[in-house]
Amino acid sequence: MSRIAAIAPLGQQIWLDNLTRHLLDSGELARWIADDAIAGVTSNPAIFFNAIKNDAAYQAGVAALKDSPLDAERRFEKLVLPDIQKACDLFAPLYAARDGQAGFVSFEVSPDLAHDAAGTLAAARRLWAEIDRPNAMIKIPATVAGLTAIADAIADGINVNVTLIFSPQQLAGVHAAYRRGIERRFAAGLPVDRIASVASVFISRLDSLLDPQLPATLQGKTAIALAAQAYAEWQQQPALPGNARAQTLLWASTSTKNPAYRDVIYVEQLIGAGTVNTVPDATLAAFRDHGEADLTLPAQAAQAGIQLAALQEIGIDLNAVGAELQTAGLKQFEEAFAKLLDLVR
């Protein structure tokens, strides 16, 4: 068994934080599913910008769209949505075998809609219909407008990957939005048993921002503490109506930014049953080489309270920090999306 595959028996899914046509056409993603138990895929504008720019498999498609009457966003979708569909089909056997609880592929609405609830919902509905796969997930950011769209999308029966979560306050809002959507759908007499959603909590960016402000004894521990606290609270959530499934916690941004830290720290220290970790290629390769699979997240809970209390004592407001990081993350995705559209114009 590979070191990555050894995580699956502990109850956590590992998803790949990347998608290119080469990964699909070469059979490499299929091999990772077979050998490493990769259980899903996430994508975002930055990932597709790099894919279209660097993967030769896209160049003919880009050229063919040059004279298209479609606008740039629709050209981009026409280019990559077949890859999303192909990835969904690749994971379809896993989705079926796990009763719709694994095998998801995420695609993001335009980041330009982050503060437009109605526009986000319309885009989510359109993309969900066009992808037309039960194991697709539509990514929506955890902005104020995004929370409204998330509840509406869930009520519509759309699987949602909620992205850009950085603080306890944001995560609480996401869980509440998911619950509202489920409750509305259940009250309407519609099925709730196959709806899936993940709450993507961003990890390494939090430590990268805070570490320079902290004494050495507190550095490199905040993101893991926040995740451990979120995990403990998640386990105590009240049941949802009917046979609806709980929203799953997903750890995102788990590559190590600080070279002083172990390069797989945000994988090794965040293994908990019922969660997902979405991991980029380089971190997967590092874990495949020297990662250690152990059920680490439950043991982090006791230390989490100490770390978070220490931050509060020195005046760190994690909700304010989370708002700052979400704004920066949105800007990064908006810039990547703008560059992406330039590629296909």
Which of 219, 230, 237 is CA-nearest to residue 252? 230
Stated as kind and residue range, the H or E segment containing 85 is helix 72-97
Between 20-24, 82-86, 111-115, 339-343, the lowest mean confidence (pLDDT) is in 339-343
The percent of residues above 90 in pLDDT, for the chain, comes to: 88
**E runs forming strands in the chain:** 13-16, 38-41, 104-108, 136-141, 160-165, 197-202, 248-252, 276-279
pLDDT at 327 over 90: yes
Domain boundaries, the chain: 7-344
How does pLDDT run across 20-57, given as a tens digit for each residue?
999 999 999 999 999 999 999 999 988 998 888 888 88
Alpha helices by DSSP H, 136-295: 144-156, 168-187, 204-210, 222-234, 265-268, 281-290
Three-state DSSP class for residue 25:
helix
- As a whole number of angstroms, the distance between CA 304 and CA 234 comes to 14
- As a whole number of angstroms, the distance between CA 94 and CA 104 comes to 9
Q: Any idea what DSSP says for residue 239?
A: P
pLDDT at 295 over 90: yes
Query: What pLDDT sits at residue 121?
Result: 98
Between 137-146, 168-177, 200-209, 300-309, the lowest mean confidence (pLDDT) is in 300-309
Query: What pLDDT sits at residue 308?
Result: 95
Decide if domain 7-344 falls under CATH 3.20.20.70: yes
Do 114 and 327 form a contact (C-beta atoms < 8 A)? no
Query: How far lies 227's CA from each of 18, 166, 199, 245, 332, in Å?
Result: 22, 10, 12, 20, 23
Query: What pLDDT sits at residue 209?
Result: 96
Distance of CA 322 to the CA centre of its chain: 16
- As a whole number of angstroms, the distance between CA 38 and CA 268 comes to 16
pLDDT at 301 over 90: no
How does pLDDT run across 183-222, given as a tens digit for each residue?
999 999 999 999 999 999 999 999 999 999 999 999 999 9
pLDDT at 70 over 90: no
- From the list 53, 66, 78, 139, the catalytic residue is 139
Query: What pLDDT sits at residue 68?
Result: 82
- As a whole number of angstroms, the distance between CA 278 and CA 16 comes to 5
Our answer to whether residue 139 is catalytic in this structure is yes
Query: What pLDDT sits at residue 287?
Result: 98
* One-letter amino acid of 87: A
Query: What pLDDT sits at residue 117?
Result: 98
Please enumerate in sequence order all residues whose Cβ is within 8 A of that of 144, keeping only pairs 6 or more positions apart, or say none: 115
Structure tokens belonging to residue 73? 């966003």
pLDDT at 303 over 90: no
Strand partners, 200: 250
When pLDDT is cut at 50, 70 and 90, the band that residue 302 belongs to is: confident
Which of 220, 241, 242, 240 is CA-nearest to residue 303? 220
- As a whole number of angstroms, the distance between CA 35 and CA 27 comes to 12
